[in-house]
Amino acid sequence: RSKEEGRGIFRFFQEEMNLRLLKRKALEADLRRALAEGELRLHYQPQVSTDGLRLVGAEALIRWQHPVRGDIRPDQFIPLAEETGLIVPIGDWVMRTACRQAAGWPELRRIAVNVSPVQFRQPGFVAKVRETLAESGLAASRLELEITESILLNDTEEMLAILAELRALGVSIAMDDFGTGYSSLGYLRKFRFDKIKIDRSFVRNLSGGSDSAAIIRAVLGMSHALGIRSNAEGVEEAEQMALLGQEGCEEAQGFLFGRPMPAEEFAAVIAAHGTGGHCQAVERWPK
Ligand code: C2E
Ligand code: MG
Ligand code: MG
Ligand code: MG
């Protein structure tokens, strides 16, 4: 390969990298602006009990209402927010907004908030949660923090200590996307999560006799033995719900019961069902 050719290839890569960096910088600046200008929103998705199909809680899910690009899904900006540290002010905003909102919905038993590993590792995270609860007037028992097992990958002992401090505040801890990480079982001995959220990928393929059914059965067997509640994510079909109920899964969440929706819409769901009635789509559901 000639020297000239080598230089050409090098220049090509450099241009490619510069372009990528530019795009990233532009998105970062745009996200920073979005936070300042109030383009971020929270949507709320119902969580129901499999036994009785009662509304038992909601998960807060972030949305970016971009003036030009329209609604942007979290998968498209949360990773960048994590890389740049923007997730810290964004996460603060999410926590504050969800707690205030839930404080205004006394009939709602519980609000679940996703916490990024980056946020979790910030010094003072526990104090911040305590302050947010105090400021919003939300009882700690009504807040559930959803974490992923990647939080426990490094500095495990330190991370477990933070979880214990959070638990001492009275908030509950849910393990999100269970089954997709590396060490799903080992840490369950070290920390008793309040809830396991079975990842959507297992629910999606759920039908009699499938591998996913066997895995879900095993996860439920284990969570029951440990006294941990389970929530199945991404329930879209009545048949999936029937199987989950049979296996003793306590809670479900998914399009079958409601998509993530704006606060005003979710307020109507609470008004109709929050005091013990069945959850919307569920009315079609045979008992
Ligand atoms: P997650 O916490 O596992 O949230 C569940 C995702 O599944 C949500 O996607 C929800 O809209 C979607 N979903 C719920 N039911 C169904 C269903 O029946 N079928 C299908 N196909 N999908 C369903 P979303 O809102 O796009 O969020 C994606 C991920 O982004 C979340 O996964 C979470 O990891 C992250 N995320 C969302 N909001 C926040 C936040 O405020 N902070 C942080 N750190 N991460 C967030
Ligand atoms: Mg979640
Ligand atoms: Mg999940
Ligand atoms: Mg997820």
DSSP assignment string, 229-276? EEEE----SHHHHHHHHHTT--EE-STTT---EEHHHHHHHHHHHTTT
pLDDT at site 268: 94
| 233-to-204, 206, 259 alpha-carbon distances in Å | 9, 12, 12
CA distance 11 to 19: 12
Per-residue pLDDT of 202-255, as tens digits, reads 999 887 678 888 989 999 999 999 999 999 999 999 999 999 999 999 999 999
Mean pLDDT to the nearest integer, 141-165? 93
Question: How remote is the CA of residue 29 from the centroid of ligand 4, in Å?
Answer: 25
CA distance 100 to 138: 7
Q: Which atom of ligand 1 is least distant from the CA of 42?
A: 41
Mean pLDDT to the nearest integer, 99-104? 98
| pLDDT above 70 as % of the chain | 93
Q: Hey, what are 117's tokens? A: 């590993």
Residues whose beta carbon lies within 6 Å of some atom of ligand 1: 45, 61-62, 73-75, 78, 91, 94, 114, 116, 146, 176-177, 200, 233-236, 253-255, 260
| Identity of the residue numbered 130 | R
ipTM above 0.90, yes or no: yes
Q: Which atom of ligand 1 is least distant from the CA of 176?
A: 3
Confidence label for 277 from pLDDT (cuts 50, 70 and 90):
low
pLDDT at site 8: 80
